[in-house]
Structure 1
Amino acid sequence: MSRLPVSVSRHAIALITGLCGLAMLVPAAAQTAAWPTRPVRLRVAFPAGGLADVMARSVQQQFGEALGQPLVIENRGGAGGNVAGTEVARNGGDGHTFLITTSTTELVNPSMFARMPFDPQKDLQPWPCSPTASSS
């Protein structure tokens, strides 16, 4: 029985965690008729065609139908997640833009990069998810 490389497994777990956070939005959206009022954007911090992109696109149609708005996937790979993180930090405060990335963006990058284009602790709000999380 073959095992996935450790890096693929970590990326898969991180992406699934992010998508779980998005899944928690669906019941909230059903309760609040005012949201979403326009397409919801998922900025994926990895290139198109990779595992994160494939997993995000695998739920695109179902989430879009549940939300009543299109779910737009935008790939912004580069700089360990800083490219996508910067765009979300600067333009994502609209409540309709979400970042799909690994914890590296907020935990490791501030130590690796002398000057970060944004402060992950202040500019991003993590949305943790676990299998036992409840949306009620």
Structure 2
Amino acid sequence: MDVTIYHNPACGTSRNTLELIQHAGIEATVIEYLQNPPSREKLSKMIADADLTVREAIREKGTPYAELGLDNPDLTDDQLLDAMLATPILINRPFVITPMGTRLSRPSEVVLDILPADAFKGPFTKEDGEQVLDNEGKRIV
């Protein structure tokens, strides 16, 4: 299965998402988006395909969001995209693209919606100790 993750290795949610993908036996294409941000066209497509607004795809925590005045409701999507491309830390993460769809995997288990359910064999526990998959590889709700 062809899977791409826009990843930040310093982010626990991003690491958990990548580990879930790997737990499914999938070798994902990993793009560290801080060093290799997506093009404007690709970013716009990911946001649309994930059924998000541009504002929903902006990361506020740990970023210069407020300092840049991005909380201004009068800013257009184009202005917000410009800011995200100029300062990639503003792109929320991780975005995951599979043939089954595109998701902003926050929380990390959202990625399960776009991976084959039968790919998981056994339990999965996130870094913080939260169990996501049971002993049979079934999602814990």
- Taking structure 1 as the reference length, the TM-score comes to 0.31
